Amino acid sequence: MDYDKIKYTVYAIYTKCEITELPFNCLDMINRKGYECKKYSQLTPIKYQACMELSADSCMIGNVIYYNDKKSARRIRFSLMHELGHIELDTENETEANLFASNILCPSIALYFARISNIREISNLFNISLECAKYAKEFYEKWLYSVKTYGMTDIDRKLYQHFYKDDIRQFIFKESQCIYCDNIIYNSNKPICSKCDKPPAENEASGPPSPTDFLIAESSWLYHGI
């Protein structure tokens, strides 16, 4: 298994399609790569049957990726990336296509900066299935061991640079705003920043919240569309 080839291919796609945020829109990205996607539900009964016989999830005929749109969104994302892996790596190997999918959806270096290890949290942050999250975590653990033992490789450095934001000098793949204080939250899907997420005992040091605090909190919820 050529892990470096998989990572270089992922990097080439991130660069070409200008993907600097995770999770990204898979259908958009495939279109930007110049491939066509078709839903199983839009096929004629004969074509539908043929696709289902190839796979209940997705298949590729020519340069068209067909996917079963009745499956869950997270499973579809994996299937689409699996098929793209077959095309981009020019391989029929299923394990390689799976590795490609897990690496492009949840690269080890991003998982490192997410600072999470729980499968469910990984699945939610990267919008991937639990199965894919488990796979990504296993790959990440091997990667981390290798980085700790031998240091970062050339492709690790390229991926690091790709997501590195010069102005804040950090590896950033996701930004959002705290619903309470408007602080920017990096690499997380928590709605509240770490400053506001303190246990009640620490927050209530200055006494119970005043009605004004409630009003501020309420308008924050209203105006941030949550």
Q: Footprint of Zn ion on this chain (CB under 5 A)?
A: 94, 97, 178, 180-181, 183, 193, 196
Q: What's the closest the beta carbon of residue 151 comes to Zn ion, in angstroms?
A: 33
Cβ proximity to Zn ion, 20 vs 183, nearer residue: 183
Cβ proximity to Zn ion, 125 vs 178, nearer residue: 178
Cβ proximity to Zn ion, 85 vs 107, nearer residue: 85
Q: What's the closest the beta carbon of residue 158 comes to Zn ion, in angstroms?
A: 27
Partners of 36 in beta bridges: 64
Cβ proximity to Zn ion, 21 vs 182, nearer residue: 182
Q: Sort residue 208 into left (φ over 0), alpha (ψ -120 to 50) or beta.
A: beta
Cβ proximity to Zn ion, 130 vs 181, nearer residue: 181
Work out whether the CA dihedral 196, 198, 201, 206 comes out positive or negative.
negative
Q: What's the closest the beta carbon of residue 146 comes to Zn ion, in angstroms?
A: 26
Q: What's the closest the beta carbon of residue 18 comes to Zn ion, in angstroms?
A: 27
60: phi then psi, degrees, rounded to nearest 5:
-130, 125
Q: What's the closest the beta carbon of residue 85 comes to Zn ion, in angstroms?
A: 8
Task: Report DSSP letters for 70-138, one per residue.
Answer: TS-HHHHHHHHHHHHHHHHHT---HHHHHHHHHHHHS-HHHHHHHT---HHHHHHHTT--HHHHHHHHH
C-alpha distances (whole Å) from 11 to each of 41, 53, 88, 186 are 32, 33, 12, 21
Omega prior to 208 cis, within 30 of 0: no
Cβ proximity to Zn ion, 149 vs 205, nearer residue: 205
The C-alpha atoms of residue 174 and residue 77 are separated, in whole angstroms, by: 18
Q: What's the closest the beta carbon of residue 108 comes to Zn ion, in angstroms?
A: 22
The closest of 99, 119, 123 to 5, measured between CA atoms, is: 99
* Contact by Cβ (8 Å): 180, 220: yes
